[in-house]
Amino acid sequence: MDINELMLTPMRQRHLYEIHSWRYEGEYAFYNWPESPEPPVRPDAFAEGICLAALDADGRVAGHFHFGEDARIPTAENYDYVPGYADIGLGLRPDLCGHGYGSAFVQLGLDYARAQLYAQRFRLSVAAFNRRAIKTYQRCGFDIVAQVTNAYFKNQFFIMTLE
């Protein structure tokens, strides 16, 4: 698969159903959505940020991006999310993980945000156990700036920024 051939499109309900069916294995199962007939997404979720599906040549969702405050995680420490950063959340389809697509996929989202949102500084959060993603983000220029506790799951996350 060529990441540069992915088409970014506004997230639709059908894309959410596809993402909801994704199943990561091992420690990455943390990222699985709960098994239920419906994706656990509020009806107004699309109005609070920019949600994009990255579609492959067959029209399947290869990944997704979310820009805005909803990309932030709630922290037990009430982390101070300083203004001036574009918050980004993202995910890559499980069968594409671990095959070297990560950096190009992250870059696709950053390029979109620079061109369409005029963003220059970025911030994301990543589970501290996810060394594979952390290395990918570091290759893209992100630095760890804080370690926090997710207020819901009680596990450790890193806040990373790209200046």
**Could you tell me the domains of the chain?**
3-162 (3.40.630.30)
Q: Among 70, 12, 16, which residue's Cα sits nearest to residue 39? A: 16
Residue 40 has pLDDT above 60, yes or no: no
* Of 22-26, 27-31, 44-48, 132-136, minimum mean pLDDT range: 44-48
3-state secondary structure of 65: strand
Query: pLDDT tens digits, residue range 41-51?
Result: 654 555 556 89
